[in-house]
Chains A and B, each alone.
Chain A
């Protein structure tokens, strides 16, 4: 029951959302479970809005707990925005092109009040050939990389990007693509640097994806970003689709050119289902009409529950052009510590075995 209630909070104020909020305050046990989900899913802004509107009855203690969690959440958002301003200054100073992704951009361009859209890290997309330079810029701000690159050049050729941490423990994700795996390999991230939408943080104008790019990215992130769909990314899709204006034809054309229409259609359907939205808008009608092929379903399945990095890597091979590139990709993985993990899925193990045969001197361990 508490999970459904959290989904109802995630859908709060969305046109056509039919999940009901409680008619009286939850008892202690229910509240405790529900509030845990709300905090973990970063829904405190929407919960506080519902409580303030009188749509979600609470005890005084529950309302205070929600308010305190929201203050904490906004505290983090402001500190991250302060960091973002410094990062963008650095990237601009080094002539690195970039697009700010997700939280800070959605908070200001997609939601009517930025307090409704908390975020816990910074995500920045940079062109693949500027990834190393961008990483250097991040390091000059004191950020460091906890997980090293698999192999020199892997990130800018095949990787999703790189994760950095600041001394204060904040995470910065530098992206080359939206996602790892087959759909990440298919996308031509260069398309996203042709134009940009501006937004302002702390008096500084910065660049994010166009409205169409934001919508496609929201779908990628919500559907493929985690094995279990998370509520706030689903809300992002519905928020963009229902309350902002963008060119659906241009967005689906972008997805089509990346062979990723199935990602967008499935993500929209999933958002509409999880958030129980009745209202049919142009985007949801298109998603309902789209027929996902068997091949597309197969590609989507590598992002599902129980899938691993290597399974996604194995599935990526078909989307990498040229034997030389495929070979370089496989060689990078063969030297990767993740490939030596016990209990690899059978398909990934077959790929791994094949890689070792291809590599001179790579005997079985």
Chain B
């Protein structure tokens, strides 16, 4: 069965504030775009998870390294809402992706 990623965790501050790290997809993750989102499977996962809605937008943006602030702006742009509306969601989602090994930080 496919489960749905839900994340409310808040990302802890990390890295050098003068040179903030960027987020990018982990190359180890297997994934496919499907009609209602993105299916993802990590190397040790028992089954794929389905990421939908804003999560699928974030995943598309993580194709290339992107800083957190830029990511939040881009998601807000894509969904045509205020940055404040998506900030917590995006941070939580990124934290979840990091926990699962789906996204990594690069300089």
Please give the residue numbers on chain A whose beta carbons come within 8 Å of chain B beta carbons, in ascending order.
48, 52, 66-67, 70-71, 74-75, 77-79, 81-82, 85, 113-115, 200-203
Contact = CB atoms under 8 A, between A and B. Distances in A.
19 contacts: A48-B35, A52-B35, A67-B36, A70-B34, A71-B34, A71-B50, A74-B32, A74-B39, A74-B48, A75-B39, A75-B48, A78-B30, A78-B32, A78-B40, A79-B47, A82-B43, A82-B45, A114-B32, A203-B26
A85 B42 CA distance: 11
B39 A71 contact: yes
B54 interface: no
B30 A115 contact: no
**Which secondary structure characterizes the binding site on chain B?**
loop
Nearest to A115: B32
Contact of A115 (B28, B34, B40): B34
Interface in B14-55: 26-36, 39-41, 43, 45, 47-48, 50
Contacts of B31: 78
B33 A115 contact: yes
Interface in B68-104: none
Interface residues of B, number: 20
A113 B35 CA distance: 13
Contacts of B32: 74, 77-78, 114-115
Contacts of B26: 203
Given A79-B47, A79-B48, A82-B43, A74 B29 contact: no
Given A75-B2, A114-B32, A115-B32, A203 B48 contact: no
Contacts of A201: 30
Q: Nearest 3 A-B pairs (CB), nearest first? A: A67-B35, A203-B27, A74-B32
A78 B34 contact: no
Contact of B48 (A78, A113, A114, A202): A78
Given A71-B35, A82-B43, A115-B34, 10 more contacts: A67-B36, A70-B34, A70-B35, A75-B39, A75-B47, A78-B39, A79-B41, A82-B30, A82-B41, A85-B43
A119 to B, nearest CB: 12
Contact of A203 (B28, B41, B45, B47): B28
B101 to A, nearest CB: 11
B39 A202 contact: no
Name the residue in A67, A81, A202 with the highest tally of chain B Cβ atoms < 10 Å from its Cβ: A202
B104 to A, nearest CB: 11
A108 to B, nearest CB: 11
Nearest to B46: A79
